[in-house]
Structure formats: C-alpha cells, structure tokens
Structure 1
C-alpha cells in the first residue's frame, strides 16, 4: 500500500490499531510524510464541506425518485450503520457523481428559468412554517376541509393565481383544510393533508409569471420537498424528511392543480 493510500486509510479510521500506531510513529519522525498527511486531511475537509453544500441544493428529480424508491434493504445498508466520515475515495466518487448529474441538471435548468426565480428563498420560509404548523392538532388549519369551495375562492383571490384542492386519497392522504402564509414577501396558499399515521403533508403554491420547469427534490432542515411549476404558480410538496412518497404525491398533485 502506497503512502497516500495508507494515510487516507489512517484518516478514515480503516487501519488496525497496530497499523495506526505505526503510522503515528512515522508521522512524528518524518516531516515530509506529516506534510502529505496534513494536505490529505485538508483536502478531505474541503471535499466534505462541498459535499454538505451540494446536499442542500435541489437534486435532479429522477435521481431523488430513484433513491426514494430504492428497496428497503438498500436503504438500511446505507443508513443503518453509525454515521462516520466517508472514506477519501468514496467522498471523491460521490462528489464526481453529484457534479456530473447535479451540475448538468443545474445548467440545463438555468438555460430555461432560474430556480425559484418567482420568489427566492420561499422554500426556506415554507420549511419554517411547516416546522410550526405540522405540530398542531386542533389548530392545524385556518379553514377546515368542509369549506373546500370557500378555500379555493379565498386563496385564488388572495394569492393571485388559481388554487385547486387536489384529491390525494389514492396516496393515502386526507385533506384537512388550508392556511394563508407569506413567503418571500408574497402570499402563499398552504393546503394541509394527514396520512394514516397522522403525519402532515402540505401542498403550497405561490403566484409567478415564470414558473420553474420540471420537478426538483431537496431537503431543508428536517423536511423533504419536491417542487415544480405550473400555470401561473410554483408549487411544493413538503413532508417529513424520511418520507419515501413525496415524489409520487407531487406527481399526483401536479395533474390536478
């Protein structure tokens, strides 16, 4: 094993105790080896920072959907073990994969429409609201589902674009009612749903003259989001980060709004 490989394995905690002690002794007596180790550690730190930044960005919808629909045993293998810093080689491979897929999708989207151009930062506002309202029971909504027609008229007039309440019962969601939010300084319609476990999923929409094209999935805080654009509005479905059905819900909603 070459020095670079040994140092990377040492940094990732992949060596035996005896091998690690040997590396430590070598580092103490070899300034050149120590300099190489520090360079690897700094590169690893920068790569992990970039990786974390990229995880906060929207990812191609097809990739997010494939991850959500992966078999449970694959998910368990990926998340069941205690978290540790990824090995150097794995970090680079992940970055390359994300850069090829994510950056390509980014520039393709930029050629048509700037992501979230209608109201920059509105998804962060939605996540903040969801963190509050998703914990409510008696006061989950302002207007109950029994007033569906009033909800559609009220929010359409207030938000400035057509608001329709999609039927998501086939996705295991029951409509509870609606709220009016303000995000990025603009009114936002929020339609609230509950699943069989009483977990909240919200569909929000904001008026725009330049709807985004295609679907995009991302995570903000503790919540997963799938956003897209339609006639005169941008939409987002938001729910708990561990949900695997948000892309399916978004696709179903998009056919009805």
Structure 2
C-alpha cells in the first residue's frame, strides 16, 4: 500500500514532533507538510499547544483516585512495533493520549505538562489570534464542574492571584474588574502560550459549568468583539493595542456576549 499521500493522524504528528519516527516516516511527513497546507497547520497547532496543564489541574490531581487510574492504565495492552522498540518507556505524547482517555473515564484530568515540547522548525501562523483561541478551547474543554469545586476565595485571595498576573501581562486587574454577575470566581492562573504569558481567570457558572476569561499579550491591534463557537463552547473575543482577550464557556451566545461586554467595559475603563 502506498502511504505517501496518507494524511497523518495527530498521533503520527506528535510522534514526529517528539522525534519518535523512523527516518523514512519523518521524511514522508516532512514532504506532506510542504505539499499539504492542512497538514502544516495541524502540525503547528500541535507543536504550539504548550500550556502547562500540570499547574491548571494540580488541585484536582491531588484528589484524584491514582490507584484506580493506575490499575486502568495497567490493563491497557502495550503494542510493540519495530519503530517503537527503541523508544524508552517514558511518558511520551502517545502514552499521554492513552492516559488521558483512561482519566476521562475515571472522571478526572491528567497532567498534560509532558506535551509542552517546542519544535525547532519555522512555521508561520496565518492568524495568531485565532490559533491561541483554538489552543485555549482545547484546554478548557477538559474542564468539568468538578475541576473547579471548592469554596469561592475571599477578595484578598482573589486580589493576590490577580496581582501575580499583572507583572507579566502589564495589566492592573482587580476582583471587581473581572467579576461576572451570577458566576463564581474560582482562581486566576498564569500560563504560557507560544512563549508569551497567558492569564486564565476561571469561574464556575451554576447552570452551565466552567467559564474562563483569558488574556494574552498581542500586537495585532484593536478589534471589536466577535462571537465564535469552539469545542461546543461559545467564545467572545476582542483585542486592544496591547492584549487579546477571550471569554469562553458553555453558556448561551446572548449571555456570553452580555458578560463579555460587561467585563470589557470595566477592563478598558
């Protein structure tokens, strides 16, 4: 069978990124990257998806039923092949995909820090702002209401968490500026996307589940709010001269637009 023009799977592409393929397989994918724009874009997306999942899921992981998960993973048979025989038994992206599938069955999320590996190749993004929203949507889609369980932190704790974002992002955030009416503030995290600091402020809506306001530095220039749907979630996104913003959640479009306009007006005040 001629596999020269077979579209590679995400597993093949992540193996290519991690240098796990044979020389022949790597050459085939390199040729496809040159010939097929869709393959090149998907490779870039996977290569740039380097958010520190360990930090985001640390509270949940501390309560995870590790023994049960380990038993489930142990029951998954290892598939050996010529190309994998030389790969040491370490946590690779392929092993992560299997672990993530098992963890979702167990009702928890797995540390995805193992996929935060860069790629030393020059691929140009057609729409950087669209790309970071895609990465964040993939990330937020892993959240469940259980991810954000626990009491609402007091104002002093909220302010301290937000202050940790200000220095990296050049902002001045306050609990009042980022509050969402009827939705509980849960935590603020400093993440990273494509080498840039990325703020994630997570909330829990009692009706629809996790909501997140995310901010990244951007020089793309001001853009008015717009609406899109990613991973079954509604996203309102906008930008000013220095930052790009997005509000994302499984909440109705009209409501997410209202919430986004509310917080946008306070952040620009």
Q: TM-score, normalised by structure 1?
A: 0.47
Which has the bigger relative contact order, CA under 8 A and spacing at least 6? 1
Larger Rg: 1
Q: TM-score, normalised by structure 2?
A: 0.45
